[in-house]
Amino acid sequence: MDRADFFDKLDEELRTDAYADVDASPNGLQIGSREGELETVAFAVDAAEATIEAALDAGADALVTHHGIVWGGLDRVTGREYDRIEPLIRNDLPLYVSHLPLDGHPTIGNAAGVADLLDLAAREPFGEVGPETVGLLGEREEPINVGALSELLADELDTGGEGVQTLAFGPETVERVAVLTGSGADWLDEAV
């Protein structure tokens, strides 16, 4: 497939341009060329050195990540930034990033995946960032006990060994759920 066509399809599906003024991460192609062909694409959460090495070892023609390298601009390309950028350029491995657009996508986004796990229906956008949203709000057909909800999340999500935390207040059963897959503190009032 043509690289430019692939990146254009991602931009269109994820509505990359809609988040241009509200996300500190420049979404879309962050590093590399739109020119060329691709057969194998690697997907990861972070554009860390190990991720880039794994993509190169797998023979990927492009790397798509949720967290990229550039956040609000680059002042210098030295140290850790250089160590991540240099192999991308040397190996002609483009880096495509989708941060908030992937958080907020209603069907293939991160919040949508958690909403699927929780079997949430009657979904609507949640978590306003300017004119866009970064999460989902939905309802369970059957309310679930907070302990059972915590166990479900712990069993099904890779939490990096951190476990699932619950706060000791609020209702004992949950029916209506707001899902944000990044830092959600800014939307507590909206959730209430």
Known binding-site residues for a divalent metal cation equal: 66-67, 103
DSSP letters, 7-64, are HHHHHHHHTGGGGTTT-SS--EEEES-S-SB-S-EEEEEE--HHHHHHHHHTT-SEEE
Token representation of residue 158: 């890779």
Secondary structure class of 78 (helix, strand, coil)? coil
Q: How many CB atoms lie within 10 A of CB 107?
A: 11
- Annotated binding site, which residues? 66-67, 103
- Helices (H) then strands (E): counts for the chain: 7, 7
CA distance 28 to 45: 14
Name the amino acid, one letter, at 52. Answer: I
Q: How many CB atoms lie within 10 A of CB 68?
A: 23
